[in-house]
Each structure stands twice: as structure tokens, then as C-alpha cells.
Chain A
Amino acid sequence: MPLTSQPIDTSIYSAITDAIKTEAERILTEGQVTAVVGYAAARRKGSAQPIIITEATDAAKLIFTAACVNNLAVYLTKAKKEVPKSGKIGIVVKGCDLKALTGLMGESQLKREDLYLIGVPCAGVLGSTVQPATGLTTDTIAPKCTECDAHLPTGCDFVPLQTPVTPELEQKYATEIARLEALTPAERWAYWKEQFSKCIKCYACRQVCPFCFCEQCLCDRNKPQMVDTTPRPAGNTAWHIVRAMHLAGRCAGCAECERVCPMDIPLNLLNRKMAKELKELYDHEAGFEVLDKGPLNSYTDKDDQSFIK
């Protein structure tokens, strides 16, 4: 593990950009898809933003860089009514984003035949607090990329022939989870209390989550009001516990919640902890195959019940 910041090679991204442009143009021209969801450059230097194109001429706008941080799968859920869902839709996906699509297919939210997947061989993207023009290094890389096992997305319709060079990195979440697990309950409570105290209930974490597609969130309801809606420490804590619970066994770690949090709350830490427990308890890992039933809506009669009297 290098102690100083090392650059990460992103030179393949320009070839990937070209390949995405060509492929998007082709599938739109041939009428294989009605729209392509991808990334385009934005005003700030080096920045990127999601774009939904329907004309082949707009394919030239598509890019892929280390600033292409979004999980575009969110635009395919029923929660995003503004995005037309008619016909087959092309979507640019990194390996981590693809896991979300896999989960959505398992939950009958999407059909594989309605999608044209343009997979991206990915060496990593930037963390949320750095300027978009920053170069990708072992310091500026998003924490989720330090634990990535899907640099090359599998099962896509098209993947540019590039191989990302990915250095071995310290696994940020595994390390942090181990650190927190070693603390006493009171110390962990203090840690989360401080983190949740920053929350302002902007619900960015919910709105970008591909799995938060409920028409009406439990936490928006007031009859009955199960979770206080006010952004006070009590309501914030309840919200984040409920959110983590509702994602347990479903979240595959795109870490969008954590990336978008304007208050830098390490939300993916909760999701990764849940994923770790589900792996240990039920040998389940989200995002690898389309499953009819997730770990929390299936069971076996041999499930652990050592905690039950």
C-alpha cells in the first residue's frame, strides 16, 4: 500500500469515449433504441453530467471520464417519471451501476430485453469532495472504487475493448467497518450521532438511489408517522436506520447516497456493513445475478436463530 498519492491511469477513457459515441450513434440511427442515457461534459472544467439523448446527432455529446460519477440506473426506475420509458433504452453503465440494474431486474422493475447496455471498462471515478478537473489518484478516487470487483462489466450488449489498469488499494469501507466494530456500543453511538447531526433531510441519498423507487416513501407519510420528518437528531437517526434497513440485501454498493450527501455522511458504510452481514448470514451478495427473491424475502428452515430464545 503506497503511503503517498499515486496517479491512476485513465488514458483508456478517451478511447472509451469514442467507442460510446460511435455505438450510441449506431443504435440510435438503426432505431435499436429510443434513447440513450449517458454522460456529457458540463460547464465547470472537467465536470460531467447525466444526459438523455434521443437523436443520433447528439451522440457526439457523450463522454466518459473520471468525473462520470453518477449511477445512471436511477433514470430507468419508475420513480423518474420525466424520463420516457417507451421502447428499448440504451444506457452507459460502469460495473457498479450494472449491479443496480441487475437488482432492479430481480425486483421486476426492469426487463433485460428493454435495455441496451453499453458497459464501461472502468479504472475508477473521482470522490465527491474533489474538484471535477482533478486527476484520478489513489487519494482522489471514490472510496467505493477501492473495493471494486467489477472494473469490467459483464453481460453487456457492447463493451469497448479496453482493459483498465487498477492498482491494489486499501479497502476503505472494510477498514472503517473493522475500526467501528472494534469500538464499544457507546463509542459507535457517539460516532453516528455526530455524523447524523449534520443531516438536513435534503433526501439526496434517497433520490439518487436506484432502489428507492417507492411511489410514496414511508418516511414522507404522516399517518402513521413512523419516522419524524424534521431534520433534528432524532428524526435524522431514525431516517438513516430505516434507509439502511430498506436497502439491506438490495444495495450493491454504487455509493451514490454517500457521494451526493452534501454533509459528507458516510452512508455507504451502513450499506456495506449490511452487505457484509448478509454475506455472512445467508451467503448473499447483491448485484451478481438476477434473483426472483432477495435474501430478506426468502428463507430456509436452517437459518441462524442463535439470537432467539
Chain B
Amino acid sequence: MQKYISQQNLTTLLDILIAQGVRVVAPRMNAGTPLYEPLESAGDMVTDQLPRRSAKEAFFPVCEDIMTYEKEGQKVTVTDIDPARFPETLLFGVRPCDASAIPVLDAVFSWDYKDEFFLERRRKTTIVGLACTTADDACFCTAVGLSPSDTKGSDLFLTPLEGGGYACETFSDKGEALINAHSSLFSVPSGAAALPLAEPQTEKFDLKKVKAWLDEHFEDPLWDGAAVRCVGCGACAFVCPACHCFDIVDEGTEKAGTRRKNWDACGFWKFTHHASGHNPRDGQPKRYRNRIMHKFKYYDDKFGQTLCTGCGRCIRVCPVGIDIAGIVEEISKKQE
């Protein structure tokens, strides 16, 4: 289905949804930092900056409770968190690099174990993608086969038009349902031209070749060169739209507490630290190798997909300037 919506009607639509109790998550400023967060009013939305964190947290929260426990004498009561209680959500203004990561994550969360925490949030969320009109030289979506107008992962996709308003195209029943429920706000396509999109100026990687090299080079001097300067923080993984490792911790007292799931990162030394004291990944280069291997080899081996959408966030936030696009480019040139 193709439609047109004016900027004003879009604001109205979001305000109606907020008033109906739908959690509308969209880019907004939080203490000076652009983040995907629930809006109190559509006017708070800021779409001209790439949010610092990706949209994955709408399905894979920074931290979520998975159960609570209480102990009274000998009696222990464990209460599971009921996924039915997750809020209905509209995830709005999602960049193609963020939206396209979500179907990639579906693979791992619905593989041998069906993760209801992820999947139920997924069912309850409608994703509205927004074509990308701002990029910088850390962006490389085109290098991994995506584009600033890629509709992958979006239920409804908006393209900003010359003269205002958006072209709307639906890609799922959820997207159509959203338009049908508010059909008076949408009109027939206007035929106006799209605003110029932000095409990153990067060469397309040959991901098959990159994988072929990775298949053969678990041990290679490249890893030392790339990551000896890595300081071992989790910034790259935490801002990544596709990284999905988590840790489970119990917090509370012996009387009562909560089991929580929170983001984890392969850059931390503790990530692979064994109880025995042994650490099979005993240096940052080995940890960084895992990051690249997981994104461009292991995930491909297992699910036939690449775990990188070229958003460039890890490049921007890396404290020591480690540049995943530069490293993959270097690898892709190795077999020429």
C-alpha cells in the first residue's frame, strides 16, 4: 500500500497514539544526547540526528527483569515476568541501519530456544522506518549491501519528500493496520520527488570474500595490528544495532530480589573469564577478533546473514578509533 502523509498529520497521528496509551518510541534528546526513547508528545521528536544507541533496545532492553524471588522461612516464591505485560509499542523514525538489524536478530532469538522476551516485544511493536537524509564519514550501510532507503525490517516506511510530508509504503499487515486505523490522516501518493538521501561514500564490501578470508585466518597478525590498542570497554557492542550478547545476574538480598538480564560485550575481559581463573580470550586482540568473526563469519555460518548494518556507531564511539569499516575493507582486499 502506498500513501502520503503530511508533517502535520504525522504529528497528529503520533499524538493520537500517545493519547491512546501506545508507547511511541522515537528519536528525542535526553540531556543533550539523541536517543530512541518514549515520547511524551510528538513535538519532542528529533529526526535529524542518528540516535546514539540503536533501536534494538525496544526488543532487547539494556536491562530487563526476568523473574523475582522471595524467601520466607523455608518457602521460596519465584515469580516469572509475564511477557503479556509488555507494552504495545510504535517504534517510529527508525533509520534503515537500525530497522534492518531487527530481522537479523529474529534469527538468533527464535532459533533453538524461542526467547519470549524478545519475541513478544517484537509482536507488540510496529516499526516505522524513515529514509536517511543525514550521514557522516563513519556511515557505511552501502558497503554491507544496505542503503539509506532500505526497507528491510520496517512495517511501514516513510520517505521525506520535497516540499514536506512523507511517502508511505507498507511492508506488513502491521503497517497496513496502522494506516487503516487512521486512514483519514493519509492521502493518495503526491508524486513529489523524494529529498536527496544520504549515500555513504564507501565501496561495497565483497562479504563472501571477507568470510572466505575469515574462515582461514583465525590466527593472523591482522588482529594484533587492529586491536592491540583496544582498551576493552563495551561501547562498540552496546551502541551496535546487531550485537545481542547478554548477561544474567541476580540482584537483591537473600530475602528477596530479581533476576535480571543486561547487555554484555565480548570486549570485556570478564566475558570469557572462567571460574577457574583461565581466560581463553586472554587479550584484547583475541576479543576484538571475536567481534569481527561473529559479525562476518559465525553468524553467516549459522544463519546465513551478516551481523553488521553499517550504521558506523562503533566507529564514532570507539575511545581509541578502532574502525570496523577500515578493518573489513582491509580484509576484503587481502585476497585480490
Q: Which A residues contact B (CB, under 8 angstroms)?
A: 42-45, 47-52, 70, 74-75, 80-83, 131, 133, 194-195, 197-198, 200-204, 206-208, 220, 222, 225, 228-232, 235, 256, 259-260, 262-264
Write the B192-234 contact mask toward A (1 if CB under 8 angstroms, else 0).
0000000000000000000000000000000000001111111
Q: Which 4 A-B pairs have the closest CB atoms?
A: A49-B321, A260-B319, A204-B233, A207-B233
Cα-based distance from A232 to B62 in the complex (angstroms) = 8
Contacts of A198 in B (CB 8 A): 30-31, 33, 35
B249, A83: Cβ atoms under 8 Å? Answer: no
Question: Does residue B308 face the partner (Cβ distance < 8 Å to A)?
Answer: no
Q: Which B residues contact A (CB, under 8 angstroms)?
A: 30-33, 35, 52-53, 62-63, 136-138, 228-235, 237-239, 249, 251, 260, 262-263, 265, 268, 270, 283-285, 315, 317, 319-323, 325-326, 329
Cα-based distance from A28 to B17 in the complex (angstroms) = 66
B138, A44: Cβ atoms under 8 Å? Answer: yes
B262, A201: Cβ atoms under 8 Å? Answer: yes
B31, A231: Cβ atoms under 8 Å? Answer: no
Cα-based distance from A220 to B138 in the complex (angstroms) = 32
Cα-based distance from A74 to B268 in the complex (angstroms) = 16
B137, A44: Cβ atoms under 8 Å? Answer: yes
Contacts of B284 in A (CB 8 A): 82
Cα-based distance from A56 to B17 in the complex (angstroms) = 64
The verdict on A262 contacting B317 (CB below 8 Å), with A197-B30, A229-B249, A230-B262 known, is yes
Cα-based distance from A49 to B231 in the complex (angstroms) = 12
Cα-based distance from A44 to B326 in the complex (angstroms) = 9
B228 partner, pick from A52, A197, A232, beta carbons under 8 A: A52
Contacts of A50 in B (CB 8 A): 229, 320-321
The verdict on A231 contacting B263 (CB below 8 Å), with A195-B31, A198-B35 known, is yes
CB distance from A190 to the nearest CB of B (A): 11
A202, B238: Cβ atoms under 8 Å? Answer: yes
CB distance from B320 to the nearest CB of A (A): 5
A42, B31: Cβ atoms under 8 Å? Answer: no
B265 partner, pick from A80, A202, A264, beta carbons under 8 A: A202
Cα-based distance from A289 to B6 in the complex (angstroms) = 64
B321, A47: Cβ atoms under 8 Å? Answer: yes
CB distance from A302 to the nearest CB of B (A): 41
CB distance from A84 to the nearest CB of B (A): 10
Contacts of A80 in B (CB 8 A): 231
Interchain residue pairs with CB less than 8 A apart (28): A43-B323, A43-B325, A47-B321, A49-B320, A51-B229, A52-B229, A81-B283, A131-B136, A131-B137, A198-B31, A200-B53, A200-B263, A201-B262, A202-B233, A202-B235, A204-B231, A204-B319, A207-B233, A207-B319, A208-B320, A230-B63, A230-B251, A230-B262, A260-B233, A262-B53, A262-B317, A263-B53, A264-B33
Most buried by B among A133, A198, A202, A206: A202
Cα-based distance from A4 to B235 in the complex (angstroms) = 33
Given A44-B315, A262-B239, 13 other A-B residues pairs in contact with their CB atoms under 8 A: A43-B323, A49-B229, A74-B231, A82-B228, A131-B136, A198-B33, A200-B234, A202-B238, A204-B317, A208-B231, A230-B249, A230-B260, A232-B260
Cα-based distance from A132 to B123 in the complex (angstroms) = 40
Which residue of A is nearest B32, CB measured?
A264
CB distance from B248 to the nearest CB of A (A): 10
Cα-based distance from A29 to B208 in the complex (angstroms) = 42
Cα-based distance from A52 to B230 in the complex (angstroms) = 12
A228, B251: Cβ atoms under 8 Å? Answer: yes
Contacts of B263 in A (CB 8 A): 200-201, 231
Which residue of A is nearest B260, CB measured?
A230
A203, B234: Cβ atoms under 8 Å? Answer: yes
